[in-house]
Amino acid sequence: MRKVIIAGNWKMNKTLAEASDFMDAVIPKAPGGNTEAIVCAPFVHLPALVEKAKGSNVKVAAQNMHFEESGAYTGEVSPTMLTDIGVTHVVIGHSERREYYAETDESVNQKTKAAFAHGLTPIVCVGETLEQREANETMDVVGGQVKKALAGLSDEQVTQTIIAYEPIWAIGTGKTASSEDANEVCAKTRKVIAEITSGDIADQVVIQYGGSVKPANIDELLSQSDIDGALVGGASLEPESFVQLVEAGTK
């Protein structure tokens, strides 16, 4: 059975009490097996959530980090700080960070390298705007983002990278890409990875789809040849719906 990774990106949501309640509800129901469940939480909740998740089938991710280990970067959090508290994954280059916080392909690459240098697994986000899709630029944009993010990584590191294809026009809008369209971009993304590494390596890379994923559409998305999981925003906030999404991976 192929490996499936369902990651819930909470974005800037939940108090500590709400985050803890979520973990208490989800941990006993997380199925494990071929399906990995990851909760991407705000920085301030990470120590408590890592503690709760110990020995369970739920992993805890940060939603961003700096690429330097330490220094005069007011307000930032380093990879060393994340590994020190037991975080295992980190989301890098989410479109909201690219749009609102001047994240660039270059900083995404620096952060991806820093993640591996510190034993963190990066979830690298890529995706096109509606204008780019309508101008038939989707693969130029997504392929370019993927190549730049992975530049300078070893084959082994590429194998371990999780790519999240999130068309920007489908995020938080209720508009999901059709599963065929999403699969087409994921398949072409795998080809781009094969070109810079090899087919064998590209086949092992987990490529997630993200953008209005919910229990009602997860089965169809996961039934596609090149979609190995999902990065979920809104529908990851409620324990019941997150558990349903994770269970879909085991089918």
Site residues (vs ligand 13P, CB under 6 A): 9, 94, 166, 171-172, 210-213, 231-235
DSSP letters spanning 88-147 = -EEEE--HHHHHHS---HHHHHHHHHHHHHTTPEEEEEE---HHHHHTT-HHHHHHHHHH
Q: Is 57 annotated as a binding residue?
A: no
Q: Closest separation between CB of residue 11 and ligand 13P, Å?
A: 7
Q: Closest separation between CB of residue 105 and ligand 13P, Å?
A: 18
- Residue closer to ligand 13P by CB (options 79, 167) is 167
- Residue closer to ligand 13P by CB (options 122, 234) is 234
Q: Is 233 annotated as a binding residue?
A: yes
Strand partners, 209: 165, 230
Q: Closest separation between CB of residue 25 and ligand 13P, Å?
A: 19
Which residue is at the shortest CB distance from ligand 13P?
Answer: 233
Q: Is 169 annotated as a binding residue?
A: no
Question: What are the C-alpha distances in Å from 85 to residues 22, 69, 105, 206, 212?
Answer: 20, 14, 27, 25, 31
Express the helix, strand and coil content of the chain in percent, nearest 5 each: 50, 15, 35
Distance from C-alpha of 29 to C-alpha of 167, rounded to nearest angstrom: 30
Q: Is 234 annotated as a binding residue?
A: yes
For 245, counting Cβ atoms within 10 Å of its Cβ (0-12 exposed, 13-18 middle, 19+ buried), the class is buried
Q: Is 172 annotated as a binding residue?
A: yes
Residue tagged 């490996």 (tokens): 3
Total H helices, total E strands in the chain? 12, 8
CB 115 within 8 A of CB 63: no
Q: Closest separation between CB of residue 89 and ligand 13P, Å?
A: 13
- Residue closer to ligand 13P by CB (options 78, 217) is 217
94 is catalytic: yes
103 is catalytic: no
- Residue closer to ligand 13P by CB (options 1, 12) is 12
Q: Exactly one of 89, 94, 96, 128 is catalytic; which is it?
A: 94
Please list the active-site residues: 94, 166
Q: Which residues are annotated as a binding site for substrate?
A: 9-11, 172, 212, 233-234
Q: Which residues are annotated as a binding site?
A: 9-11, 172, 212, 233-234
